[in-house]
Structure 1
């Protein structure tokens, strides 16, 4: 199944949006983007539930954009997996992470249902 150029643009924009401080500080926007049953396996190994993510103190993010190795595959017309690598500076150290997100299309647009980050050394 091939993804439309419109859906590709939307999903890439949404994933990039999650890395922008202005989005992370906008509780209303985050409530729109994150599904009620969202959870994440963080790069630290911590499991984050939706309420943890929404309650987390936002911090400055120094990430490489556009997100490297960005790929999208459809499971069906309403479920997509986005994968990419992130490289961001945290306390002066660059951390590299393989990332994977599962997005689902709802009547109000795409929402993030799952995310996982796995650290790696380039």
Structure 2
């Protein structure tokens, strides 16, 4: 099995949607997109469960992420599971934080849900 162009377009939209305030803080988007067993190893080193990932609308903050996501790639792990990898560049308090990111998405009943996410900090090489 291969990812279809439609799958790739949807996964790009979903992954980037996690970095866009309008979708990231939309409770319906979050409830549908985070699997019930979702967990994350954050860039900070902390572990988060689904309850921490599904944020209330009142927690809304502006997200200053570089889009499109740098080096976004998808790897089919089995017929229902895809790994997305990319580099994120997010400005927080005037400082750009860089992380290598990985998400696992599972498709069931025609719907992609994120099961796992990890962010690992890194410093880009100077050129």
Q: TM-score range by the shorter chain?
A: over 0.9
Q: Secondary structure at the match of 2:71?
A: coil
Structure 1 unmatched ranges of 5 or more: none
Partners of 1:79 and 1:15 lie apart in 2 by 14
Matches within 5 A, 1:1-122: 2-55=2-55, 57-122=59-124
Alpha-carbon separation, structure 2, partners of 1:4 and 1:38: 25
Question: 1: CA distance between counterparts of 2:80 and 2:106?
Answer: 5
Distance 2:111 2:49 in 1: 21
After superposition, what is the alpha-carbon deviation per residue over 1:66-102, rounded to whole angstroms, capped at 9, x for unaligned?
Answer: 0001100001121000000000100100000000000
CA distance in 1, matches of 2:3, 2:110: 19
Call closer, same or farther: CA 1:34–1:76 in 2, change over 3 Å.
same
Conserved? CA contact 2:25–2:55, under 8 Å: no
TM-score, normalised to structure 2, is 0.91
* Range with bigger deviation, 23-32 or 92-101: 23-32
**Aligned-partner Cα distance in 1 for 2:25–2:116:** 20
Residue 55 of structure 1 and its aligned partner are, at CA, apart by 3.7
Deviation at 1:108, TM superposition (A): 4.5
Q: Quote how far apart the aligned CAs of 1:105 are.
A: 0.2
